[in-house]
Structure 1
């Protein structure tokens, strides 16, 4: 072929290879910067708005707590408001802990502003931002119209009164006191995050472009080399035929010297060829193997089972891998062989036999047995450790001794009833035994108090899932045990604690555990009350089915107790529990 024509063909091939690659990266960059990034920016802004709304709602609830104390007569109206202002004025959040909350009334008059104390107690109805917006009047209008909402305006940058930037705030009114509480986010923060993402995507895109370019160049080069190689093959075809004959001889030598045993059998399973390696594996000469079955050398107590399994494989006429045969060598040594084979067909397409390889896996099988024993020992150690941790928590609370074990047993029974996988039930079992481990930090007098807890004591008591999470999160369980413990008091409708999670935000194991925990707790005695009885407990989960509690778990629990007569009082010390 003329040199110029070959060059022209090579250039055409190069262009066809390179063009799709560069079009791909171009479409990638356009999609990232003109589709994905704008959506990401809007999504980020929406998340920030949701965040300030949630923070404001939380702060609003703090005001409600003080108002309740006022209504109960614990605090005077002035003292309740003073404490609320003092507490909210100290709240900070954000990366620099400079984001804050403020309070004004419906006049509007400033009640408290952490960074503008000069406005405290003053009429701010005519206070305007640099664009002339009467922002505090807008806050009042928003609350009067809809109770809560977002307002955008210009304001100083955190505690820097010389820097004025755009801001969006979420405000909510507290009607009993005529207050408005709010917090906000700075648009510049969102833009800075988007800029960082844009720069990162630009760097990634540039890297991808370089990689694709190199791959395209590599493909072009390989294509040119392939063209030259084809020319060389045509020129040396006669010589390669001779080399093929030599390669066949080398391949035969390789088969006969390889560390694996190569064999062929007919369709009845009788050996028609054996490589010399069989002598190293079993001690037999290749000629001694001919016309024998591969299962001939199985131990007498295994011969029938091995022969039947091998005959079934041969009858299928399909390739097989991983077939294990335990064989006895010539000197009586036990050898475990792993056989892989492909079928051989004659010119009429009929099965003629199999060609395969057998490998000595005796050491590997021994190692696997040792590994299995080690795993079993480790699992037993884990069970003992978990039991010790659970016992530690219950020894501080004699009134609820056995509670964690009964909850564990009921939760695992519910999980099996709904068809939950056994490997995940084992994780549920561990979490159930430890779900109240966080109570070890509670004062003993709280646990044994014969009367109901106060609001402050209840608030402290409700921290035990978070404490349990902190205790367990550094332990490398193969299941999300710490997260299950953290979420076991969450409800589907968001009324639970400590995070107020909803629906699919709650792990299924935690939803199952919540049902078991409620039923056991209500049907057991407590220091401040006698048992409410199993009927009251079942009425509670029926009333909350699909609202607070996982519907399928509630059905399973009711079926276990009412239909299958499940004994709720039975604990591990009495012979039950666990995942067995």
Structure 2
């Protein structure tokens, strides 16, 4: 077309400019945009495909898009395509094969292309989710390993919250004779014989309150069939699903109890039983070992004759760091005090250390006071506990890695949003700790803050950085980002409720927030914290559409709206951090910095 014709046709010039503008927008998106005809033949694909799949657009256009789909996912992807051609918008995940033959996971959002009322093809956006999928797979492997350790434990394992059973492993069910659905949600004290319930309950509440109480105690549980089983309870406080809980190891001590009963009846029977015991059994009188069973010889490497020799120093069997503890507990026995079971380490004759659990009690031996000791090798249990701890730590690291990968995705597309999220995460964590949240809950709040605006990946960049008042349609699009973020995160099994926090971070106490219009107590505390931190950072920091307004005005705003829009406890903690504790963002941007001097226009609508 001639230049004269273009000049005489302003409509066509405007149309071409719009076409060029939208093409530039599409070709600079971080996701792949594609168009296919009714037969699935690619008629357009954005240049970013080269960095994701290794193919240039010319190598894909004109070919069936199905030829790039992983064979096992082809039926599912074709189903999406047929539904799109029927007029539906579809979203799905499947695998593509890149130019090198490697597999790449993508999330596909598709819409039909209409000519009047007729569908003439489909267009869609492909987001590379390979790293997220890999992180999810690593998380599943870690969880499977953790589950295997728990289910293969020789001890029963029970998790209690508010006295109710929340989790039981297979051994616990076998010990009690119940099915899982019969125990979960039941008051644990109902399984304890009535005469022991008060002691067990008191220790449970004292432990949760942080008081020092014996971790190990003996009791009797009532099985489903009414029979009674003597057990040892070894309990400690943990965080379970973001709440304090009691982790209880249950060990059947029937054999040990029977051994103790037989010992009281007859020394002869005692010796017979002790020699067959799988545990070390000894008698110490006046500081010397006067009896040691065969297991003592097998475990320590010393002959029984050596152990019971008058010149043998019993403390040579104890690891140096435990000598004072063992000696002090023996002295307590001799003063008539009860000593609960405790852990220590044995040193074999060859120097090898063995983690052990020792049970001691005073007895009458040949007319004199003596100490009867039963020592259990707990090396395997220690290993299992360490494996359990490492598995849980690995799960946390995997979750944090997933979040950091998502944050990196956002940063690559919109550095302003990324910097905003980092600063909001700093302030959210500080507020959470200031109001007394436990470290794990505060960490969950910080992790949610790091990616709280992930839903904005579906908002065009030119809207996010528009230097002026947003239209109603544009602002409605912005308001969709919490829901979009929730949809991205809800299927990822984080140790914290990250998706729920992200969904609610723009909700307000009076119900004026979005997207759900939640009121007061229906808003998660972590989301209330994130909401205040979000507003303070947004007002105080530079944006592409305006310079920084200042921290003082930001703090005045949340103070003015305290109890109306924002939780007063959260607001007071935030004000205290800045006024009394010297909190500052680690990478504050002001109007004096090069970035702060750019674009001095203050938009009428704040996007945060």
Q: TM-score, normalised by structure 1?
A: 0.51
1:136-147 to 2 correspondence within 5 Å? none
Counterparts in 2 of 1:258 and 1:553: CA distance versus 1, 3 Å: same
Quick one: which of 409, 412, 418 aligns to 1:395?
Answer: 412
Q: Distance in 2 between matches of 1:245 and 1:566?
A: 66
Quick one: which of 291, 294, 317 aligns to 2:337?
Answer: 317
1:23-422 to 2 correspondence within 5 Å? 252-266=271-285, 270-290=288-308, 295-300=315-320, 302-304=321-323, 306-307=325-326, 310=329, 314=333, 317-321=337-341, 323-344=342-363, 352=369, 354-422=371-439
Per-residue deviation at 1:368? 3.6
Three-state SS of the structure 2 residue aligned to 1:341 is: strand
Three-state SS of the structure 1 residue aligned to 2:499 is: helix
For the Cα contact (< 8 Å) 1:324–1:339, is it kept in 2?
yes
Higher strand content, 1 or 2: 2
1:502 maps to 2:506: no
Structure 2 partner of 1:559: 576
For the Cα contact (< 8 Å) 1:523–1:533, is it kept in 2?
yes
Three-state SS of the structure 2 residue aligned to 1:401 is: helix
Per-residue deviation at 1:414? 0.8
* CA deviation string 1:334-358 (max 9, x = no partner): 2111223345589x9xx95543421
Structure whose alpha-carbon radius of gyration is higher: 1
Counterparts in 2 of 1:547 and 1:356: CA distance versus 1, 3 Å: farther
Per-residue deviation at 1:556? 1.2
- Aligned CA RMSD, in angstroms, stands at 3.5
Higher helix content, 1 or 2: 1
* CA deviation string 1:492-531 (max 9, x = no partner): 1211111111122111111111111111111111222221
Structure 2 partner of 1:425: 442
Per-residue deviation at 1:248? 8.1
Show structure 2 runs of 5+ residues with no match: 1-224, 227-261, 589-608
Show structure 1 runs of 5+ residues with no match: 1-220, 223-242, 572-580
For the Cα contact (< 8 Å) 1:313–1:320, is it kept in 2?
no
Counterparts in 2 of 1:253 and 1:424: CA distance versus 1, 3 Å: same
Quick one: which of 475, 482, 498 aligns to 1:481?
Answer: 498
Structure 2 partner of 1:204: none
Counterparts in 2 of 1:343 and 1:307: CA distance versus 1, 3 Å: closer
Q: Distance in 2 between matches of 1:272 and 1:355?
A: 10
For the Cα contact (< 8 Å) 2:528–2:566, is it kept in 1?
yes
* CA deviation string 1:238-258 (max 9, x = no partner): xxxxx9999986564222211
Structure 1 partner of 2:239: none
Q: Distance in 2 between matches of 1:562 and 1:296?
A: 59
Structure 1 partner of 2:19: none
Structure 1 partner of 2:245: none
For the Cα contact (< 8 Å) 1:295–1:303, is it kept in 2?
no
Three-state SS of the structure 2 residue aligned to 1:296 is: helix
For the Cα contact (< 8 Å) 1:295–1:325, is it kept in 2?
no
* CA deviation string 1:305-359 (max 9, x = no partner): 54466468657822413x222222112222111223345589x9xx955434211
Q: Distance in 1 between matches of 2:278 and 2:337?
A: 27
* CA deviation string 1:105-125 (max 9, x = no partner): xxxxxxxxxxxxxxxxxxxxx
Q: Distance in 2 between matches of 1:345 and 1:524?
A: 78
For the Cα contact (< 8 Å) 1:512–1:553, is it kept in 2?
yes
Per-residue deviation at 1:544? 1.7
Q: Distance in 2 between matches of 1:385 and 1:295?
A: 51
Q: Distance in 1 between matches of 2:569 and 2:297?
A: 62
Per-residue deviation at 1:289? 3.1
